[in-house]
Amino acid sequence: MMSFGLLALTLSFLAAPPPVRSFEDAWCREVFEGSVAAAARDYQEIYLSQPAGGPAPEVRRKAALRAGLCFERLGQTANARPAYRTVIELSAGSGLTPEPVVEEARVRLKRLGGEEGLLHPTAGAGERLRVEAGPRASPGSSGHEVPVDVAVAERLEALKAAVLARAEGAKALERRRGELDDRARERQAIARRLARRGVVLSFPPAAPPSAAKAAAVLQALKEALSAEADLERCTAALANRFLDRSLAAARAGSAAQALRDAYCRSVLAGGTAPAAGRSLESWLEPWTGVREPAGLAAAAGRRLVEENVRRSAAFRREIRSLLEAQEDAVRSGRRDRAVGILDRIRDALDWARPVQRESAEVRVLAAHAGRQYLLLARSGSQEDALVGLWGQAREVTEAFLHEAARYVEAALDEESYEAPPEVGGRLDAASLCGQEADTVLREARQLLDRGDARAATRSLREAAWIIDKVPGAEGGLERRRALESLEAAAAAGQQAPDEDDGGRQAEDG
């Protein structure tokens, strides 16, 4: 009888479902560890768990919303829709005013095409961030303790401002990169036009950045980020990424790509061209210790591993040191300072490489920091706001770094187009380039006569590039005067001046 009872108890234990993770554990996985897919599964387990003896309804609603957000980030909209529907279904029949999580689920479900309309019009998560979030003093900056709810509120306001600034900064860099890409396409169009005349333009390979170009790139990043601390984190993160890419390309034997990435890294790190010249070995010698092509690939591979190990160790030390400072602040009764320190940990994790966040020790430290922050936020009833905003901050920061890297590459690529190209293909190539410039000027004149100043401006940029950059195509004062006259007319939105007028202007000069 005892054997039968023991067997039944054992079977019931084996049949019992594994314990469901807490909402805090899942959130720490998502925000601090960056494990979006694993967090989505944890959130799903929470909101699909049995109501009896399970999480409270409000916790299940929050878990369903976070699951939907994670699935959207993973591109799994088919899984995101039922998660958002669950949020709405769990609130049905409660008779209570819909919570912000319910309203956000309605907005996102509508955007995914999963619901006809909104029962309660409200702003989406991104729109709700557009509140006044002016700069405030950091918590605990004075000698007096700030109530913890005030400290958390101030950090939330500052984070709202940072998220908005980074999102706007990414858009600004995207616009700048678009302008650079447009100019590059114009140069390529010129090369194709000249090729039809039998002229071959050879653009130089990527060159070391000039001091002016490096300063312009750094200034663009500074304008895109409102906080000096963000700029420092951004340039350091991008410099490390380009160094890793350069070493990886060198290991794979792709010298041109390795050199290009090394140039990008030098701009962000404030470096200059090495005295040895433009060779890849000279650029990577500070890391590889190799001066000759032989052995460069193997040395680059070793250094890539060593760099990642070194950075990961430094990052772990930084997080451990901040956690110790946070614990000291709590022991001394300054929970407001603890809030500020935990927010610095969050910021460091936002800018870190995914490979650093995913290490086992960092994940444990990050989870501990996340729980401490949630406890402090809960005491001020600001847990929900914190949970939603941190996930968005991580996503926006990654998007900014991605766009910033693309902008730096485009800015450095433009350097090759700014140098005079080599002209070949025919003996009279220079004369043919001048004739092509005249043809483009006539096209610009016709466009201005038709009132299309925008298209005329584009043609004039092409003509100016041929006259300025192609050796032998400048063609004397008359061509230059005609270009300047048409540029002035295009800027004023006027019709093109008569060719005779342009000639008279040249004679008067």
Report whether 166 contacts 350 (CB < 8 A): no
How high is the pLDDT of residue 94? 56
Q: How many angstroms separate the first and last alpha carbons of the chain?
A: 117
Q: Which CATH number fits domain 15-121: 1.10.3470, 1.25.40, 1.20.120, 1.10.10?
A: 1.25.40
DSSP 138: P
Highest mean pLDDT among 14-28, 380-394, 408-422: 408-422
Q: Domain ranges in the chain? A: 15-121, 211-417, 427-508
Separation between Cα atoms, residue 363 and residue 282, nearest integer Å: 38
Is pLDDT larger for residue 488 or for residue 504?
Answer: 488
Separation between Cα atoms, residue 390 and residue 346, nearest integer Å: 8
Separation between Cα atoms, residue 67 and residue 47, nearest integer Å: 9
Closest by CA to 413, choosing from 73, 198, 191, 185, is: 185
Lowest mean pLDDT among 410-414, 422-426, 473-477, 502-506: 502-506
Lowest mean pLDDT among 139-148, 399-408, 453-462: 139-148
How high is the pLDDT of residue 231? 86
How high is the pLDDT of residue 405? 93
- Contacts with 104 (C-beta within 8 Å, 6 or more apart), sequence order: 65, 122, 124, 125, 388
Indicate the residue type of 34.
Answer: G
Single pTM value for the model: 0.68
Separation between Cα atoms, residue 166 and residue 325, nearest integer Å: 28
How high is the pLDDT of residue 377? 74
Strand 200-202 to 422-424 pairing: antiparallel
| φ and ψ of 234, to 5 deg | -65, -50
| φ and ψ of 203, to 5 deg | -85, 140
How high is the pLDDT of residue 381? 58
Residue-wise pLDDT for 343-360, tens only, equals 899 889 989 888 888 888
What kind of fold does domain 427-508 have according to CATH? Methane Monooxygenase Hydroxylase; Chain G, domain 1 (1.20.58)
How high is the pLDDT of residue 28? 78
Separation between Cα atoms, residue 486 and residue 481, nearest integer Å: 9
Residue-wise pLDDT for 249-266, tens only, equals 988 988 888 888 888 888
Closest by CA to 485, choosing from 455, 464, 454, is: 464
